[in-house]
Amino acid sequence: MRMIDADSLESKLPAHSNDSDHVMTRNFAVESFRALIKAEPTVTPSPVYAKGILLDRAVRYDLQNAFPKALLNLRLELIAYPARNTTVPLYGADTIEELNARIIEWCSREACKSYSPASVKYHLNGINQFCHTDFTRDGMEYIYTNLGNGINHDLCLRFVGEMDFNLNKLKHEIEKMEKPT
């Protein structure tokens, strides 16, 4: 399947047919578009695909095992739990640390505050399985309060990278940030 740049097509489509008394008909427009489609491929792959993290079979396998109900849409969003519409934006996640951070940021709310016990269990188990962690609901609530919804993305990246998902290190870092200088 090839995507087409509509602006490019429109700029190349003549405003009218060769017959000066004739307004462009639907058939003329369709035939013009078909000719342009055959002539010019216009879309380049997204930068995410070029970097390969989402093309890595092991990463996709781990995501599918951690979130078995998940879907990946064309906007590069992981819909981790369609029933609750838990969406994780993946565009620009080109490292495993970035992917882990986004999973934590966008799934942590459902993992601790959902009204549905099944949703809490699904998200908490998914996060723990994908990130290779063992967070409890209370630990996830602390994470959500301080890192959820992308509130502090840089700290979240440090939490999954430098701090190796250590809650004590995260608590220490947050205490340092909250102390007046």
Q: What is the pLDDT of residues 8-19, one digit of tens each?
A: 656 665 555 555
Q: With contact defined as beta carbons under 8 Å apart, do 77 and 54 qualify?
A: no
Structure tokens at 61: 């396998």
The contacts of residue 167 (CB under 8 Å, 6+ apart) are 135, 139, 142, 143
Task: Identify the pLDDT of residue 60.
Answer: 86
Range of the domain at 21: 6-39
Task: Report the DSSP pairing between strands 86-89 and 77-81.
Answer: antiparallel
Residue 137 belongs to some domain of the structure: yes
Q: Give the tens place of pLDDT for each residue, 71-95.
A: 988 888 899 999 889 999 988 888 8
Residue 67 belongs to some domain of the structure: yes
Same domain, 64 and 28: no
Kindly tell me the burial class for residue 156, based on how many C-beta atoms sit within 10 Å of its own C-beta (0-12, 13-18, 19 or more): buried
The C-alpha atoms of residue 48 and residue 116 are separated, in whole angstroms, by 33
The C-alpha atoms of residue 76 and residue 160 are separated, in whole angstroms, by 22
Task: Identify the pLDDT of residue 76.
Answer: 84
The number of folded domains in the chain is: 2
Residue 86 belongs to some domain of the structure: yes
Q: Averaged over 42-50, what is the pLDDT?
A: 48
Same domain, 15 and 61: no
